[in-house]
Amino acid sequence: MNGGPVTGSLAGVRVIEIGTSVAAPMAAQILGDLGADVIKVERLGTGDDSRSWAPPHWDGAGVTYLSLNRNKRSLALDFKDAAGRDVLERLVSGADVLIQNLRPGALASAGFTTERLRELNNRLIYIEMTGFGASGPQAGKPAYDPLLQAYSGIVSITGEDGRAPARVPVSVLDIGTGMWAALAVYEGLRRRDQTGQGTHVELSLLQTALTWMAPTLMSVMAGNAVPQRLGSGLAGVVPYGAFPSSDSWVFISAGNDSAWKRLCRALDAPELDEDDRFRTNVSRASHRPDVTESLSAVTVQFTSAEIIHRLEAAGVPCSPVNTVDEVVVDEQVLSTGALRSLPRHDIPGLTVVNPPMTFDGSYPAFDVPPPPLGADSASVLEDLGLTSDQITRLVECGVVGLDLRGPTDSDGEGT
């Protein structure tokens, strides 16, 4: 990529993450990538739940944790204990942002209500994430990404007609809520610039789902039919989806009648275009199963490479259906610089995925791999003014946990 390292605009902003799993860690990682000092407050002993989500793992560490927790410092702390609560109060008092996605009401029951947080720091941007939102009959229920995919209607339109509904096999609601949270932090900081006051931001997986589903919801509210499950298809465009080759699959999109004609010629199948059922997109949409069956019978005679070569030459949109192991070595993927080495002392080969934007040709500069549990407890407490004797007492009392290997620096060596 062009240009030198980019210093993030959030340098000097302190973020406290009391998060687990995906949504809050995702939000805090985005902010850390953009320069914020992120302190991840974790349970003693186990830490973030995703640490133990393995397999898959990388040298014994859960891959989900590794993918969502770079550019953070880990403080293992029991803030339900009086001494631990005092530590967290000190952290909150000096922070700019607090992000949490604990079970609804858990942080408040530990003494950190919205009102108490405001008393501690009236400039705090407080980001609170839940599953179902702040009000309504489901408000107090814990929630998980696949459950909200089902509740919001996403699962009902995913998969193939006649088969069981399916979830999107990516945590789209957790990750999406994390992205919205990061955007909300920027808005909160801009508002604070204007008013001098912090703000309480509430987000939920349900509201993220409804945002992603907006066109579908609006279509139904306008009186259109409830969508069918079309697999990888798209209502109103046929053919559109994955078609078999002799060695794999190819995704094909013929969005108009001209593209359909070119498709038929490119695959030496003029008889498809001559079929009255297939002449126009409207008629093809009415005979979707027949189009799929007939076109599949043609595509399966070619290799994926042959189909891609023919269709690209004919100007028909198409793509190989790459498997994940093919993606990580793909020339185009590698040329973007999206995959980046970020070694840790115990995971020397660790590679992460860069945030999806560059600034004047360069990705945001960062060099801190996901920390072991409690790796930064001592340094965080020292920042708060605690002496080594005070830190030792907190450790001996079981209020603070330390990783004796210490924090991890930019070249992956423990310090």
In 3D space, the residue among 316, 269, 276 whose CA is nearest the CA of residue 295 turns out to be 269
Is the distance from CB of 251 to CB of 307 less than 8 angstroms? no
- DSSP-derived secondary structure for 30-41: HHHHTT-EEEEE
The predicted-structure confidence for 296-327, as pLDDT tens digits, reads as follows 999 999 999 999 999 999 999 999 999 999 99
pLDDT tens, residue by residue, 68-105:
999 999 999 999 999 999 999 999 999 999 999 999 99
Q: List the domain boundaries for the chain.
A: 14-212+333-401, 240-244+249-320
* Amino acid occupying residue 388: S
Alpha-carbon span 268 to 254, nearest angstrom:
16
Q: Name the residue with tokens 């003693």.
A: 44
Kind and range of the H or E run holding 251: strand 249-253
CB 130 within 8 Å of CB 139: yes
User: What is the reported pTM?
Assistant: 0.92
Q: DSSP letters along 129-188, please?
A: EESS-SSSTTTTS---HHHHHHHTTTGGGSSBTTS-----SS-HHHHHHHHHHHHHHHHH
Q: Sign (positive/negative) of CA torsion 394, 122, 7, 64?
A: positive
Nearest to 9 by CA among 241, 215, 186, 208: 186
pLDDT over 70 at 409, yes or no: no
The pLDDT confidence band at residue 404, using thresholds 50, 70 and 90, is: low
On whether the CB atoms of residues 44 and 78 are closer than 8 A, the answer is yes
Residue type, 395: V
Domain 240-244+249-320 has CATH 3.30.1540.10: yes
Name residues whose C-beta falls within 8 Å of residue 84's C-beta, 6 or more positions apart in sequence. Answer: 77, 78, 394, 399, 400
3-state secondary structure of 357: coil
Distance between alpha carbon 283 and the CA centroid of its chain, in Å?
A: 39
Task: List residues with catalytic annotation.
Answer: 174
Question: Is the pLDDT assigned to residue 413 strictly greater than 70?
Answer: no
Sheet holding 240-244, edge to edge: 240-244, 249-253, 318-320
Average pLDDT estimate for 185-208 = 98
Beta carbons of 229 and 164 less than 8 angstroms apart: no
In CATH, the number for domain 14-212+333-401 is 3.40.50.10540
Residue 349 in tokens: 């080969």
The stretch 47-64 carries a mean pLDDT of: 94
Over residues 346-360, mean pLDDT: 95
Closest by Cα among 5, 84, 12 to 41? 84
